[in-house]
Every structure is written in structure tokens, then in C-alpha cells.
Amino acid sequence: MGYDSPVTSIVLDPESSPGNRTLYVSCYGKGVFKSTDDGKTGQLKNNGLGDNKCAFELTLTGKGVLFLTVSATPAHKDGKKGKSFYSGDVYRSTDGAETWTKLDISDGPLFPNGIDYDRKNPDRICLGCWADVELSDLVGGDVAGATGGNETIDMQGGVFMSEDGGDNWKSIFDENQYVYDVTVDPYHDGRLYCCTFNQAAYRSDDLGKTWRKIKGYDFHWGHRIIVDQNDPDEVYITTFGSSVWYEKYK
């Protein structure tokens, strides 16, 4: 892959043979690598991806379907800085990353982050997204100031859900929230969690119809919620800068 390869996620195919595992790797700026020999060698698998190769997170469902989120990023074309940018995207592959299909999530630009799926219904997919961002946050304050000033880029945030494997999506959470990741609880039917950059994390027990804040958690830069496999009524919240939080439901 080369040392200039910032890896953002790795997925191991559990159906591959021990000693000869298949690995999928998202590499920010390069796209997706695939290895079929335990990681000894890898090949880029970008057929179907657009110009934006800022691959961020890979998810492999129980049906063997891959989902990839690609981050919004500056479009510094011809080596020149400017105010143009690439929208983030979500892709799906049903053939082991040999080809990718872009999914239609929203009408405007998108900043997708984490994806999870329902273990009992792998066609149910949940996606976390950031809401409106400032142009300066994407291309830099100096560039925004030198090219006409800063502005807000309208983006639909929150949580999206698909019930048909990614063909159709609907919003199930506040579109103004900056959701970093969403978790589908594998132990409680209908239970979802989402972690935000809005000083709160949330839980739903009815597949996103209603949500409530997780009590006691108030750190601004939340990362991901992980359900304890040894005690499914306990969850851990990882953060950017405030260690690990936990909550046990009584």
C-alpha cells in the first residue's frame, strides 16, 4: 500500500479461510484495497468510485454486502487551492469490492460517517451523517477568505435508514445533528444508538421513531457507542478527548 496510506478502517471477511483471510481496507485519499492472502499483498478496488477517493469507513453485512462511506473533501484541482469541494458519498458492492455503486441518500451534498446494520435483518442499514458545515471547515479559512468569504454548506445530517439493502433511504433523526456514528443493538430488537458532536448521545427502542438522550453523557465530541457483548444492558461511548464513558441500564 505504501507508507503514504492513511488507513481509516479494516474489515475481515469471516467467511474467508484462516491463514488466507480476505481483508478490505479503506485508505483516505486512495480508495479501497483488497487482500486475499492475509494482508501480504493488496490491490486497489476502485471500479465505480468517483473522483473523491477519501474512503472513510467500510462495513460488511451478514449478507456479504460491502458499504463504503467517503468523506467530503476539498477539490484542489490542478494542484491549486480553491473553494470547490467534493461531496461525501456512500457506495455499495455486492461482488467483493470488484465494482461499486453510488447510493442516492439525499438531494444535496452529504457528509457521511459511520454505517451499521441489523444482524437479524441485514437489509436494514443505518447511516450517520454530519449536518451543515462551514466552507472554511472543508477548504480552510484562508482559502475561504481569499475566494469570496465563508459560507454555510447545507447538508442533511442525523441518521438515515434503509430497509431494502441501500436502495431507498429515509431520515429517522434530527437532520440538524452532527452524528458521527450509529449502532444497531444486536441484542435488543428495535434498539438503536447514535453518538453526536452536539454534546449528547441518544437511544431509540423503536427503530428510530422516537429518541431520548442517554443520561449523564455530555461530552461534545462523541465517537461511537459499543454494546458490551458480556452485558448487553451496558454500553460504552468512545470519544475524541474524554476517554471512555459507560452507561448501565437498570
211 occurs within a structural domain? no
Q: For residues 16 and 202, what is the distance between their CA atoms, to the nearest angstrom?
A: 35
187 occurs within a structural domain? no
Q: How confident is the model at residue 250 (pLDDT cuts 50, 70, 90)?
A: low
**Residues 46, 100 contacting (CB under 8 angstroms):** yes
149 occurs within a structural domain? yes
Q: For residues 203 and 223, what is the distance between their CA atoms, to the nearest angstrom?
A: 15
Report the domain count for the chain: 1
Q: For residues 200 and 120, what is the distance between their CA atoms, to the nearest angstrom?
A: 28
221 occurs within a structural domain? no
15 occurs within a structural domain? yes
**Residues 105, 90 contacting (CB under 8 angstroms):** yes
Q: How confident is the model at residue 27 (pLDDT cuts 50, 70, 90)?
A: very high
Q: Tell me what percent of the residues of the chain surpass a pLDDT of 90.
A: 84
Please tell me the least confidently modeled range out of 139-148, 152-161, 167-176.
139-148
pTM for the full predicted model: 0.94
Q: For residues 84 and 73, what is the distance between their CA atoms, to the nearest angstrom?
A: 9
Q: Which residue has the higher pLDDT, 186 or 76?
A: 186
124 occurs within a structural domain? yes
Per-residue pLDDT of 50-109, as tens digits, reads: 999 999 999 999 999 999 999 999 987 777 788 889 999 999 999 999 999 999 999 899
Q: What is the CATH number of the domain that holds 34?
A: 2.130.10.10
Per-residue pLDDT of 153-171, as tens digits, reads: 999 999 999 999 999 999 9
218 occurs within a structural domain? no
pLDDT at 246 over 80: yes
Structural domain of 124: 7-177
The partner residues of 189 in beta bridges, in order of sequence, read none
C-alpha cell at 247: 452507561
Cα separations (Å) of 132 from 33, 154, 175, 184?
31, 5, 9, 25
